[in-house]
Every structure is written in structure tokens, then in C-alpha cells.
A and B are shown apart, each in its own frame.
Chain A
Amino acid sequence: MGILNKILTAFRGGANEVGQNIVDANSTRIFEQEIRDAEKHLTKAKRELTDVMAKEMQASREIDRLKRSVAEHEGYATQALEQGNETLALEVAEKIAQLDSELAEQQSANDSFSAHAVRLKDLVKKTERQLADYQRQLSMVKTTESVQKATATITDSFASSNSKLLNAKDSLERIKARQQQFDDRLQASEALAEENSDKSLQAKLAEAGIGEQKSNANAVLDRLKARK
């Protein structure tokens, strides 16, 4: 069963009640142990792979050397034959036969190292994938648990402080109302500032005798006299 399925099953089984864990602590520990084991296997396989690859390189160097040596001796044998020295040629041929058999041996060792290296590389890749998968699964379990516990913590905190999370509609309305109030206040203070600057301009104009003049007692008297 996949880990998501386990988590869902635990949820639906009622494991989401406070105080009950999604996956019990023991199985989490077992899981963590499995991860550590896989990590150990991985380290071992990687070390082994390094060894095998080193041996493979050694063998291939040895093969090159032997091949060069065979070619060299073949040259010698040809030269001995050209000189008509059959005995020497035979001696060289024996040496070549010996080199050939060494070469075959090294070749087969090299093949076996190569095959082993391929197998180990596969193993390392597979173990790495498995390890990543284990770690992903463990993190899912731990996150689920952590969220559960965090929720319990939040619920407890709100219960003990006698405050409660409001329902969504009321919360939104309050926040909007506050925002509206803020906007209104901002607008009002802007309007006020504008008005004040208007007033100060009018005052300056009046002082300069420009614009609408304040009526004074003399003017009123003049007006009354004129009406008679």
C-alpha cells in the first residue's frame, strides 16, 4: 500500500482525533531505520564500485602492455626468420605464446570487472532511487503529523484564550469595514486638507483687498441711507 493511501486510511479511520498519531511513532522509527540501512548499503556499494573500476583500469592497462609486447615479439620473430635463424624464431614464438595466454587471462579478468561494475552501477542507482523514495514518504508522514499537531496546538490556544476563530463571512466583513473606515478617514483628511488650503488662499486674497469683501458697518449704513 502506498504511503498516501496509508495516510488517507488513517484519516478516515478517525486517527485525526487529537492525541492520536497518523502513523505510530514505532513504525516511523522502523522507517527511519530502513533509511539508515539503505544509506549504509549505498555507501558500501559505492566503495565497492570504486574498487572494481580501479581494477578494471589496471587490467586494461595490462592488456595494452601485453598487446604491445606481442606485437614487438612478432617483429623479432619475423626478423629472426628473415635471418634464417629458425631456433631463435622458435624461442621468440614460445614467448609470444606465453604472452598470448597472459593476454587472454587479463582479458577475461577485465570482462568480469566490467560486468561487475555495470551491476554495481545499477545497484547504486536503484538504491539511490529507493532512498529518495523512502525519504519522500517519511517527509510526507512527518509533515502530516506536524500539521495535525500544529492544528491541535492552534485549537488549544484559541480555546484557552477564550477567543475563537470567527466564521469566514464575519471575518471578511470586519476586515472590509475596517478597510472602508480607513479609506473614508483618508478621504476625509484629504478633503479637510484641501479645504484648509482653500481658506488660507481666501484669507490672503481678502487681505490684499481682492475678491469678495467683508461687509462692514459703514457699508451697511450707506446702504440703508440709500434706500430712503
Chain B
Amino acid sequence: MNIHTIANHLNDLGDNSHTGFQFDCYPIDGEVEVLQVNVVGREEIPVFVSVTDNQVLCIAYLWGEDEVKQARRAEMFETMLELNIPMPLSSFAKVDDKYVVYGALSVHSSMQEIEQELSVLSDNCLEVIDELVDFLQ
């Protein structure tokens, strides 16, 4: 399992995905290979996929620390913690100064599971931003 097998699968799906979404994948070169997955119609919020020794990590960036209304930061954290379990398959995290939602899968996952993960993560992103927009400037 690497990002290229995932990219090939998603690009070949076309209209035949199980989730009803179309995916455009762009591998990004760097010290760690990352796959940028755009869900067609939601290009503004891409999902980034990387594969480590034992897991497939799918990460979508929500917002930066600079977008947060600092006076309501603690309230936002609490809301995030409360939403963490109800939110299917994804969890909140922070990488550097950016808030993210992510999902981790086993490297032995099927392509269909990865496809599902990506679509749920994308749905979760929109839902979360919609829900927490009051905490943003």
C-alpha cells in the first residue's frame, strides 16, 4: 500500500465510486510522499493522505489558529471534544498552528474502505466548519 496505488484507484473510479463522489488525486513530492485528494465540487478543502509503516493517515485542514476568536477558544475546544465521538470515523487534532480532522486506517484496509474514509472525512469537514463557524473570526 502506498499513495500511488491509492491515487490510481481513486482516479480510475470516475463515476463508479461507492460514495457518489469523484476524486482527483495529485501526489506531492517531498521528504514524505503525500497525496492531495480533491473531492470534485469541494476543491477548497482537500484531504491529504500519507502512508506510514503501519497506518494510512488522512488529514483535512480546518482552520488556522489565526482564524479562531481567541476569546472563545476554550469554548471551541470543549465543543470539539464533545463532537469527537459523535463524528463518524474522524477525530480532531492540531498540527503546528492548524486545526485538522483526521482518520487513521490500517495499511491492510481495502480501497473501498479508504474511499469511504475520504468521503466521510470530507463530509465531516463541511459539517464541522458549519457547526463551529461562530468560533471563527
| A interface residues with partner B (beta carbon < 8 Å) | 16, 139, 142-143, 146-154, 156-157, 165-172, 174-175, 178-179, 182
Contact = CB atoms under 8 A, between A and B. Distances in A.
A147 B57 CA distance: 9
- For chain B, which range describes its interface: under 10, 10 to 19, 20 to 34, or 35 or more residues? 20 to 34
Nearest to B32: A149
Nearest to A173: B44
Interface stretch (B10-18, B78-86, B111-119, B129-137): B129-137
Contacts of B28: 153-154, 157
B30 A157 contact: yes
A167 B66 CA distance: 10
A167 B63 contact: yes
Contacts of A139: 52-54
A165 B61 contact: yes
B116 to A, nearest CB: 20
B64 to A, nearest CB: 7
Contacts of A150: 30, 32, 34, 48, 50, 57, 59
Given A147-B95, A182-B41, A171 B129 contact: yes
A168 B67 contact: yes
A171 B44 contact: yes
B55 interface: yes
B133 A153 contact: no
Interface string B32-54: 11101000011011001010111
A168 B54 CA distance: 31
